[in-house]
Chains A and B, each alone.
Chain A
Amino acid sequence: MSARHAFVLLCAASLAGIGAARADPLPPDTTYRPLPTMPLSRARALDEAQKPQVMERQRALLERRYDLSDQPRQGMMMSGGTKPVQDGVRVKLPEGSSWDALAGMAPAEIREQGLLPQGFLPLPHVKQATGGQVFPELQIDAIAQQEQRDLRRFDVEADLPVHLTPEFPPPIFLTTQPQLGDVSRGELLTIRNYYEIMNGLITPVQMEGLRLLLTPFPQEEFNQTEDRKVAQPSLGVACLDCHSNFHSNAAFHLTPDVRPQANRFRLDTTSLRGMFNQQIHGSKRSLRSIEDFTEFEQRTAYFNGDHVSATRKGVNLPDRPNQVAMMAQMQNIIDFPPAPKLDPFGRLDPALASESELAGEQVFLGKGRCAECHRPETAFMDNQMHDLKLERFYKPGQVANDMVTLPDGPIKTFTLRGIKDSPPYLHDGRLLTLADTVEYFNLVLSTRLTQDEKDDLLAYLLTL
């Protein structure tokens, strides 16, 4: 620091009156959740009447941003073999533009001309003002049938067409029983059937962990108070209501990590496969262990970053040495789906892979620069968070369906193992296919891949 700078800083510090809080704080509900003011029965009637309009507005936004059609990729199924992988780039280009033209432009040019494809922007929740957990129909139906527990909200429903979400129920692979392959029997694990399905496969400790992961506790919109969005006072939500069979059913929520409400971004449920290899958890929170995540998730009512309102609804405080450890041990034996073409280093076996897949691996390791963060030797992660700085390409602060579009900041590198099983992509699910992710990273990383390179890279991602 120059002497002039130092002097100026000193003066500025004294001028700004540092230390004393002289102003009123911002209003309390910039941080805290307000209590309802409308009687529940009336709020519910209004919510129900308004729901078609809410869903229509979201559908219109999705249609503007994406091609939502059902276009399976020939001969490519998810790991359980019950659902095809979707093909093609689905993010819509601005009129008159092309992917190559965009990739050839400087970020500032794209920003100034407003040319960033809208589908690359953060994806709003179906109802930002309320937010909260939204479960897909398949999960709602399965839980209603097996447990007579109601996961249906009266104000909103899931917004993505079912062909763009993971297969349901997804297969389960155990690190402790690799020889068995998928042990799910094609069933969704619930509190009713878990014992029959898992007995003989897991330890007593893991079994107790599993029971807890399937036990519902009151959570944000699903509780017994008037501050809820489910018709009857609710038994609550279980961990595996979102992480179906330890994977994801594309249930979503708003991030706990940001306030005020309009700034909170959407979170697509992550898979719990391969947690054993992961050292930071949560897209932003960077919790350092599966135990921390499990304990905290339960304490703060799954994702609201709000222990205050969680406490009011009846919080479950799992005890760390016993319950938390057992829940963690169960999660830690969930494996990725098999990737038969990968060798022990996470590299393609040339005897098994196609030419295009091998060429794609070279792009991944080389020109595409993917492996600088998705490191093959550490399960295609680096246990780091990175700021991709998408806001170089757009002007922050625009409001879309009541969500303020803001820079993402640093986000955890997700694994790419088993990636074809977990659409939609990125932390908020803003990208619908792997082909979309290739275009996204090609633009964000300025790698200028050719069409052949993109095709090969995609073929490679599908082998992981």
Chain B
Amino acid sequence: MTRIAAFLLGAALTAAPALAQIGNPAGMAPDTRLDEPGKPAPHQTNTQDRLFAQLAAAGGLAEVQLGEMARDKAEAESVRDFAAMMVEDHGAANARLAELAEAVRIPLPQEPAPDQQALRERLEAAERTAFDLAYVRAQVVEHQKTAQLLAWEVGQGQDGEIQRFAAEQLPVVLGHLEQAQRLNAELSGAGGPAR
């Protein structure tokens, strides 16, 4: 991207004050640089932003890796389609998160968290319909956790851009969760989503 384009993008983001989160200043670090009273200067993260970015990045990596596995390995076409969507959606989100983290120098993990790696090993050992179901059930849990994590960042974070990222991801992740619940219902006969 050229410098001009980057500048325009930045301008577009700051020109949307309606979207800016308004936090509780009591929770800000005492050395927070402020643009206006109570409004942190851009690119200034708090602990929550940094932890969020790291957890979300690890989760995003896991989603792509597991999605790639399931896209090829799953028995049911519906599961393969879902997996392909995970690769695409989370791939795009990971890229965006990486940009945001880069701008504020948050080091991101290069691999999924240990529990996600353990999950991967368990899935590698599974075959056929048992694989499909195990993958889909793990997807339900991962998306549940991610939805809570995103809402946490919306409420407790401080860097407006990262918070906006979380807010944009939230409906998408809830949509994925609903689909994973549907697949689980389809595969196992469990109850589907509420709606």
Contact = CB atoms under 8 A, between A and B. Distances in A.
Interface of A: 1-2, 4-5, 8-9, 11-12, 15-17, 22-24, 26-27, 29-30, 34, 36-40, 42-43, 45-50, 53-54, 57, 60, 127-130, 155, 226-227, 260-263, 387, 389, 391-392, 395-399, 402, 404, 407
B187 interface: yes
A44 B8 CA distance: 35
Contacts of B125: 15
Interface stretch (B63-71, B100-108, B129-137): B129-137
Interface of B: 18, 21-30, 32, 34, 36-39, 48, 51, 113-115, 118, 122-123, 125-126, 129-130, 133-134, 137-138, 145, 147-149, 151-152, 154-156, 167, 170-175, 187-189, 194-195
Contacts of B175: 395, 397
Contacts, number: 166
B38 A46 contact: yes
A77 to B, nearest CB: 38
Given A17-B118, A46-B25, A30 B188 contact: no
Which of B26, B123, B134 gathers most chain A CB within 10 Å? B26
23 contacts: A8-B129, A8-B188, A9-B188, A17-B122, A24-B113, A36-B27, A42-B30, A45-B37, A46-B25, A46-B34, A47-B25, A47-B26, A50-B38, A50-B39, A60-B18, A129-B27, A130-B24, A260-B151, A263-B151, A395-B175, A398-B170, A402-B21, A402-B154
Given A16-B137, A260-B152, A43 B22 contact: no
Given A397-B147, A399-B170, 17 more contacts: A8-B187, A8-B188, A12-B130, A15-B134, A16-B122, A27-B149, A37-B27, A40-B26, A57-B22, A260-B152, A260-B155, A387-B194, A395-B171, A395-B174, A397-B172, A397-B173, A404-B154
B133 A30 contact: no
Contacts of B167: 399, 404
A11 B123 CA distance: 11
Given A27-B48, A60-B18, A391-B195, A12 B27 contact: no
Nearest to B145: A26
Contacts of A8: 129-130, 133, 187-188
Which 3 residue pairs of A and B lie closest in terms of their CB atoms, listed nearest first? A49-B37, A397-B171, A262-B155
B142 to A, nearest CB: 10
B28 A38 contact: yes
A129 B129 CA distance: 44
A11 B130 contact: yes
The binding surface of chain B is classed by DSSP as helix
Contacts of B113: 23-24
Nearest to B34: A46
A396 B174 contact: yes
Contacts of B195: 389, 391-392
Contacts of A399: 154, 167, 170
A231 B153 CA distance: 29
A444 to B, nearest CB: 13
A407 B174 CA distance: 11
Contacts of A389: 194-195
A234 B86 CA distance: 51
Given A12-B134, A15-B122, A402-B22, A2 B189 contact: yes
B58 to A, nearest CB: 10
B25 A54 contact: no
A26 B129 CA distance: 30
A128 B155 contact: yes
A296 to B, nearest CB: 25
B148 A38 contact: no
B22 A30 contact: no
A397 B174 contact: yes
Contacts of A11: 126, 130, 133-134
Given A38-B28, A42-B30, A262-B155, A50 B122 contact: no
Given A26-B148, A29-B152, A260-B156, A15 B130 contact: yes
B51 A22 contact: no
Contacts of A26: 145, 148-149, 152
A64 to B, nearest CB: 10
